[in-house]
A and B are shown apart, each in its own frame.
Chain A
Amino acid sequence: MRQIFAADESLSWVRADFEAMASSASLLIFRVQSLLGQVVPLRHRSVVRRPSSAASGVLACGVEAAEATALAVEGLTLAFGGAVAFEAIDLTVQAGEIHAVIGPNGAGKSSLINAISGLYAPQSGSVRIGAARFSRVPAHRLAALGVARTFQNLALFKGLSVFENVLSGLAGAQRAGLAAQMLGLPQARREARAQRERAADVIARLDLAGVADRPVGTLPFGVQKRVELARALVARPRLLLLDEPMAGMTATEKAEMSRFIREARESLGSAIVLIEHDIGVVMRLSDRVTVLDHGRRIAHGTPAQVQANPAVIAAYLGLADEPEAEAA
């Protein structure tokens, strides 16, 4: 039942989005596009889930609610010595939701992602991933928890080809042991074949087939960013953390990347946390937005709510009005 509520609620923010949007004629065109992108999957979801949750009763409801919240960050605080990276951050991301985290440079966005993925140890607060709650997320268990991420400054395996990099995204799911691999036992061969098929599938979907055998270090930056997304997607994560996946990209590349991210959400139903500087991209792509400034959450809500928030305009969006004016 919670599920239906969540879906209806998200429809209501879409409506709010629409109302807010109508006031701004210059934004109308891409807002309608984003609406189309949002309404269709949400309807689809509520249609699919309504009968199943009604049939499975109360017990299943609890399970589904737990499953629906992919990530819940509660009161998370991180400091390096005396320097506070962020303080008392709350962030909840539902399954199938694209949640953007925005804010000026140094607002603590990347630190937040790094804390969620266990690379930094927060001083207080907790991170709940699926049903498991941590005060410090164990990085080595991320893959098993169904979490994948990309890195702001690329963390690809330079000595491997594109295909091998994508395959390595399945390292956490590897079952066959070393002996089975070396002897080529049926179990290991079956697993290897299944992994190659999955990797090839993701590579094809992200338009990387042409460069699959190239050493990853020889590719342009934008393509490497896409390889990193492929390496994260191949594991079919329930929670996907994207740290500036479109940094340094051209407008065309950004549009392409946005499409890949949206498709990933549609096909995998992943919850996605997205750090992005391009406000246009954020407004078009995300369902909800959290705004950080100086390590504090200053606003959260739908893109339209956030955009209308005076604190946000003061801290951040005021500076970002220019590119939108240009777009109009």
Chain B
Amino acid sequence: MTTAIALSAKPRNLSGPVGVAVLLATAFGLVPLVGSDYLFEAILTPFLALALAGLGLNLLTGYAGLLSLGSAAFMAVGAYAAFNLSLRVPGLPLPVSILGAGLVAAAAGLVAGLPALRLRGFYLAVSTLAAQFFVAWALNRIGWLSNDSPSGVINAPRLVVAGLSFEDARGRYLFSLTVVALLTVAAWRLVRSPTGRNLVAIRDQEIAARIVGVKVARTKLLAFALSSFVVGIAGVLWAFAYLRTVEPAGFNLDRSFQILFIVIIGGLGTLRGAFLGAGFIVVLPLALSRLGAVLPGDGFDSGTLEMVQRIVLGALIVAVLIREPAGLAALLDRAGRRLRLPA
């Protein structure tokens, strides 16, 4: 009887401390032992980088209710800032240059967030497009930023921290996982702090928030800075741990939309949502191509695959927005409750 209760209690606490501990133990302990290079390189590392970007955007859009279409720009700022820091400051430890990159991205976010003091909703989203286009332009035009490489392509520095190399596929996965875990803990603390409460207050009722004494302008700018900090570091992971060689075009508007979709599909205003959404976005094309392979005939060619992918994604976003605006996170919560009910 007691064991039955203990067992049934297990899935209940997936988002509780036990669930998180199990998840971390699996990710740090089990997965590196059994995973293949393909799993690390093609699935887990991009998943982690995108989840982190989603997490950052979720702080801004999900919690503070400020819509941004400039996420990819802040990823690019982070990636290129880390590249320049490690290139131009010899002997700078990698964690420091990543932290510095986050701060540079935060500063960029702060500037891009200035229109938020006047604009909201779609008008604000459109104004963040300015950041998107300006960053792409600057990276292409200012050779210094990419150390004068043709078309702004940069190569990742060696991933070595305190003598430990994270160069192979497993190492890059573990490196990303550590960064993502640390920043997720920080984000978790943030959203539960009074500042996190202020973000939601501004999102839900800006006037009431001002009346109870929330410093609205400062909190909005803070949301942009914190969000861009996280997104910038996601950009570092994307460039250094996943792709290893990036060009500015890799951080275009499509990427911004991809991150926005991650947040919408995963669930606005939840930390889990970014991970669920990123998992979905990464796995979807792989699942579709597998599906194509088992279908009769020639299966999909790559062009068809991409088209099908876009159609499915578009349809899903419409479906999510209509049926479950709170995203996969809410869906999972409900499923969890349903499963629990009979017990």
Residues of A within 8 A of B (CB): 117, 119, 139-140, 142-144, 148-149, 151, 155-160, 164, 167-174, 176, 178, 181-182, 184, 192, 195, 231, 235
Q: When chains A and B are docked, how far (Å) is the Cα of A229 from the Cα of B297?
A: 67
Q: Is the interface of B mostly helix, strand, loop or mixed?
A: helix
Q: When chains A and B are docked, how far (Å) is the Cα of A295 from the Cα of B116?
A: 36
Q: When chains A and B are docked, how far (Å) is the Cα of A155 from the Cα of B208?
A: 6
A89–chain B nearest beta-carbon distance, Å: 21
User: Cβ of B194 and Cβ of A142 under 8 Å apart?
Assistant: no
User: Cβ of B194 and Cβ of A181 under 8 Å apart?
Assistant: yes
CB contact list, B197-217 vs A, under 8 A: 197-198, 200-201, 203-205, 207-216
> CB-nearest residue of chain A relative to B203?
A159
B193–chain A nearest beta-carbon distance, Å: 4
Cβ–Cβ < 8 Å partners of B209 in chain A: 157, 168, 171
Cβ–Cβ < 8 Å partners of B212 in chain A: 143, 148, 168-172, 231, 235
Q: When chains A and B are docked, how far (Å) is the Cα of A172 from the Cα of B215?
A: 8
Cβ–Cβ < 8 Å partners of B189 in chain A: 181-182, 184
| Contact of A182 (CB < 8 Å), options: B193, B201, B208 | B193
Cβ–Cβ < 8 Å partners of B195 in chain A: 178, 181
Q: When chains A and B are docked, how far (Å) is the Cα of A168 from the Cα of B210?
A: 11
> CB-nearest residue of chain A relative to B204?
A157
24 A-B pairs with CB atoms under 8 Å apart are A119-B207, A143-B212, A157-B200, A157-B205, A157-B209, A158-B205, A159-B203, A168-B197, A168-B201, A168-B214, A170-B213, A171-B194, A171-B209, A171-B212, A172-B214, A176-B194, A178-B222, A181-B189, A181-B193, A181-B194, A181-B195, A182-B186, A184-B189, A195-B194
Cβ–Cβ < 8 Å partners of B193 in chain A: 178, 181-182
Cβ–Cβ < 8 Å partners of B194 in chain A: 167, 171, 174, 176, 181, 192, 195
Cβ–Cβ < 8 Å partners of A148 in chain B: 211-212
- How many pairs, one residue from A and one from B, have CB atoms within 8 Å of each other in the complex? 87
Cβ–Cβ < 8 Å partners of A195 in chain B: 194
Q: When chains A and B are docked, how far (Å) is the Cα of A143 from the Cα of B198?
A: 14
Known contacts: A174-B194, A182-B189, A182-B193. The answer to whether A140 contacts B216 by CB under 8 A is yes
> CB-nearest residue of chain A relative to B213?
A172
User: Cβ of A182 and Cβ of B190 under 8 Å apart?
Assistant: yes
Cβ–Cβ < 8 Å partners of B222 in chain A: 178
A166–chain B nearest beta-carbon distance, Å: 10
Q: When chains A and B are docked, how far (Å) is the Cα of A140 from the Cα of B186?
A: 29
> CB-nearest residue of chain A relative to B193?
A181
- A-B contacts besides A167-B194, A171-B213, 18 pairs, CB < 8 Å: A139-B210, A140-B215, A143-B212, A148-B212, A155-B207, A155-B208, A156-B205, A157-B204, A157-B209, A158-B204, A164-B200, A168-B197, A172-B213, A176-B194, A178-B190, A182-B190, A195-B194, A235-B212
User: Cβ of B208 and Cβ of A157 under 8 Å apart?
Assistant: yes
Cβ–Cβ < 8 Å partners of A164 in chain B: 197, 200
Cβ–Cβ < 8 Å partners of B215 in chain A: 140
B142–chain A nearest beta-carbon distance, Å: 32
Q: Does B279 contact A (CB under 8 A)?
A: no
Known contacts: A140-B216, A178-B222. The answer to whether A160 contacts B211 by CB under 8 A is no
Q: When chains A and B are docked, how far (Å) is the Cα of A182 from the Cα of B195?
A: 9
> CB-nearest residue of chain A relative to B62?
A159
Contact with A along B220-243 (1 / 0, CB 8 A): 001000000000000000000000
Q: When chains A and B are docked, how far (Å) is the Cα of A144 from the Cα of B211?
A: 10
Known contacts: A168-B198, A171-B198. The answer to whether A142 contacts B204 by CB under 8 A is no
